[in-house]
Structure 1
Amino acid sequence: MARFHPLRVAAVDRLTDDSVAVTLEVPPALREEYRYTPGQHLAVRLDVDDTEVRRTYSICSPVLGPEAPAELRVGVRLVEGGEFSTFAHKELAAGDILHVMTPAGRFVLEPAPGYYAAVVGGSGITPVLAIAGTLLAQTADARFCLIRSDRTAASTMFLEEVADLKDRYPERFQLVTVLSREEQQAGLGSGRLDEQRLTGLLPALLPVETVTGWFLCGPYGLVQGAERALRGLGVNRHRIHEEIFHVDGGAAPAPVAATAVHSRVTAKLDGRSGTWPAQDGESLLETVLRNRADAPYACKGGVCGTCRAFLVSGEVRMDRNFALEAEETEAGFVLACQSHATTDEVELDFDR
């Protein structure tokens, strides 16, 4: 069960004009709880004007040994109007305390021999940096191709860390960089990595059909375009893993209007169950939160997957889903923050 703990900030390092890396110290007593799989993320809690704000940031540091981590590092890009990202850029300093949830997320790779590839945009590099760094360090029979898209060279996060991978593993790590708003002296021309461009580019870079696993991370448009390109090139959906960092309001399907269903919601959480009436229009997560403040969530936008739960019985309508893969929804998992009851009785299990 995910839990929040206070962690001390060890460092705040500026990466670009609009991004920083935050390093957190993990005390010995909590290190097992913060053991993570490369690609997972942390939810950070902040109180702003008596309102609790939660934001999710991916761990960028690789797993280099069997020991539980003494430190965790995340990348934070400044978002216009973003409460936590603004705080992190302007106020957060070494020595401060942040309340941080234990690692979560299923956009992960357990190191294993094979040929892996990623298409990332902007801050989507963050979890992939941990995935690639861990894989190359732990598995001598693995290769990784990173195709990254950024606006300009100056806005590119973790330049030094990616360059270090290229220097350390020159035979097993391939880097392809595309800048959307700036010409490069060498390499690919500028422009966005959309479906059409990726359909022509990917087969020229690597043997698409032999790639063991594809990892797509970044804005909604880039991830969806990359998925369509891969499926058009014959890649099985089971080899494609996605994590969306930003959803433009006009790019994603709009939520379905809520209908009034007077349901009772039963939820199992941390070994305890309860049943409560749902109020008109509220999500299952909102129903549970009114009665169990420890219900897991972070973004409430259907992106992070922190509120994932198993639908034991009943039926629900899920407005949006940018976190669960098809196999998970087919198995019966839902996002509680996006789900509304459509039957009189609904039962969820957050512990599965």
Structure 2
Amino acid sequence: MARFHALRVAEVERLTDDSVALTFTVPEELREAYRHTAGQHLALRRRVAGEEVRRTYSICSPAPDPGGAGPRTLRVGVRLVEGGAFSTYALKELAAGDEVEVMTPAGRFTLEPAPGLYAAVVGGSGITPVLSIAATLLARERTARFCLVRGDRTAASTMFLEEVADLKDRYPDRFQLVTALSREEQQAGLPSGRLDRERLTALLPALLPVGAVAGWFLCGPYGLVTGAEQALRTLGVPRDRVHQEIFHVTDAPASPRPAGPAHSTLTARLDGRSGTWPVQDGESVLETVLRVRSDAPYACKGGVCGTCRAFLVSGEVRMDRNFALEPEETEAGYVLACQSHPVTEGVEVDFDR
């Protein structure tokens, strides 16, 4: 089960006018608890006006070697969101020496390093987990190659410029970088404009042998990720080679929700203990559990991070949104508790599977 621990902030590094990198020190006794796979994220927690606020941020530092010790530090990227309760705090108040409650790593937008050619299409802060994925892969697999296609508004708004440039310098024959700016012309490289479906369908085959790519990693705003996924589908890429993580889902449509039963009960198993409770009108599975179990796992509540994944043992639910589970996971019976609403009188879920 995921757990929160208070970690001390070692550094707050300004990346752009609206983004920072936070580095946390991991105490010796917690290094194994914070061992992570490249691409995973952390949930950060604080209280605002008496209410708990959680936000998820991807780890940008390379993953520790499997045979070595856990990480001494963890680094995440935070971009300012207008009105954001945590991002505003991170950019304007947080300082080295402060403590933040940090959940142990979670997420399945990951890559276990293996030989082969890999590629990513990212937009904005979507570079954060992919930076960890690319750095970890190239360091561990001497024959692996990685192609990064990234889109940003301007050069000044581009996160982790130095870190990406360092990868290019260290692995000139194995790391390929292509940048598109939507609001600024570049002296070299692609003409300005968004990386939409049409553009990517034409661009990707010109950059690399699309069919030979072992894994595609799409990360960023909803429009970019869905456009890139449609482009890859058009190019004949098998579904199981495409991995997605969506940031900022405010423009994403929700599935229509059928009316649930007048009375429904939920049984949930969590951390080895089970309970059964009535579902109040309009509640999600997660909201029902949180009324009596404050330790229920969650982070974003937006169907993006996958922290609240649970196995549907019996009954039926409908999910409003799902941007975290792969089709294979939903077919196997997994649901996102934050997005699931009972449509049968009895529902049972298991958070421990």
TM tier, smaller: over 0.9
Number of the residue aligned with 2:317: 316
Residues 192-250 of structure 1, C-alpha deviations (whole Å, 9 max, x = no match): 0000000000000000000000000000000000000001100000000000011133x
Residues 289-319 of structure 1, C-alpha deviations (whole Å, 9 max, x = no match): 0010000011111111110000011100111
After superposition, the CA RMSD in angstroms is 1.0
Shift of 1:59: 0.2
The residue type equivalent to 2:275 in the other structure is G
| Partner secondary structure for residue 280 of structure 2 | coil
Shift of 1:7: 0.5
Number of the residue aligned with 2:46: 46
The residue type equivalent to 2:134 in the other structure is A
Residues 1:35 and 1:255: Cα distance change in structure 2 (over 3 Å): farther
Write the distance in 2 (CA, Å) between the matches of 1:316 and 1:221: 27
Write the distance in 1 (CA, Å) between the matches of 2:14 and 2:73: 18
| 2:271 aligned with 1:270 | yes
Shift of 1:258: 5.2
Residues 258-302 of structure 1, C-alpha deviations (whole Å, 9 max, x = no match): 535411111111111111111111000000000100000111111
Write the distance in 2 (CA, Å) between the matches of 1:141 and 1:261: 59
Residues 118-143 of structure 1, C-alpha deviations (whole Å, 9 max, x = no match): 00000000000000000000001200
Write the distance in 2 (CA, Å) between the matches of 1:8 and 1:290: 30
In the alignment, is the contact (CA less than 8 A) between 1:57 and 1:74 conserved in 2? yes
Number of the residue aligned with 2:138: 136
Number of the residue aligned with 2:151: 149
Write the distance in 2 (CA, Å) between the matches of 1:53 and 1:63: 27
Write the distance in 1 (CA, Å) between the matches of 2:225 and 2:40: 18
In the TM superposition, 1:139-178 aligns within 5 A as: 139-178=141-180
Write the distance in 2 (CA, Å) between the matches of 1:41 and 1:258: 34
Residues 109-160 of structure 1, C-alpha deviations (whole Å, 9 max, x = no match): 0000010000000000000000000000000120000000000000000000
Write the distance in 2 (CA, Å) between the matches of 1:254 and 1:349: 23
Write the distance in 2 (CA, Å) between the matches of 1:212 and 1:199: 18
Write the distance in 2 (CA, Å) between the matches of 1:275 and 1:206: 53
Write the distance in 2 (CA, Å) between the matches of 1:274 and 1:152: 52
In the alignment, is the contact (CA less than 8 A) between 2:218 and 2:245 conserved in 1? yes
Number of the residue aligned with 2:221: 219
In the alignment, is the contact (CA less than 8 A) between 1:9 and 1:97 conserved in 2? yes
Write the distance in 1 (CA, Å) between the matches of 2:52 and 2:17: 27
Shift of 1:256: 2.6
In the alignment, is the contact (CA less than 8 A) between 1:7 and 1:100 conserved in 2? yes
| Partner secondary structure for residue 212 of structure 1 | strand
Number of the residue aligned with 1:283: 284
In the alignment, is the contact (CA less than 8 A) between 1:263 and 1:278 conserved in 2? yes
Shift of 1:253: 3.1
Shift of 1:63: 2.1
Write the distance in 1 (CA, Å) between the matches of 2:227 and 2:95: 38
Number of the residue aligned with 1:327: 328
In the alignment, is the contact (CA less than 8 A) between 2:24 and 2:74 conserved in 1? yes
Write the distance in 1 (CA, Å) between the matches of 2:95 and 2:261: 47
Match of 2:243 among 241, 244, 256: 241
Write the distance in 1 (CA, Å) between the matches of 2:263 and 2:337: 17
Residues 20-76 of structure 1, C-alpha deviations (whole Å, 9 max, x = no match): 000001111111110000000000001000010000000000025322001000000
Shift of 1:344: 1.3
TM-score (norm 1): 0.98
The residue type equivalent to 2:71 in the other structure is P
Number of the residue aligned with 2:337: 336
| Partner secondary structure for residue 337 of structure 1 | coil
In the alignment, is the contact (CA less than 8 A) between 1:151 and 1:179 conserved in 2? yes
The residue type equivalent to 2:183 in the other structure is R
TM-score (norm 2): 0.98
Number of the residue aligned with 2:184: 182
- Structure 2 spans left out of the alignment, 5+ residues: none
Deviation beyond 3 Å, 4+ runs, structure 1: 257-261
In the alignment, is the contact (CA less than 8 A) between 1:260 and 1:280 conserved in 2? no
| Partner secondary structure for residue 56 of structure 1 | strand
**Aligned pairs, number:** 351
Shift of 1:92: 0.1
Number of the residue aligned with 1:5: 5
| Partner secondary structure for residue 189 of structure 1 | coil
Number of the residue aligned with 2:58: 58
In the alignment, is the contact (CA less than 8 A) between 2:260 and 2:344 conserved in 1? no
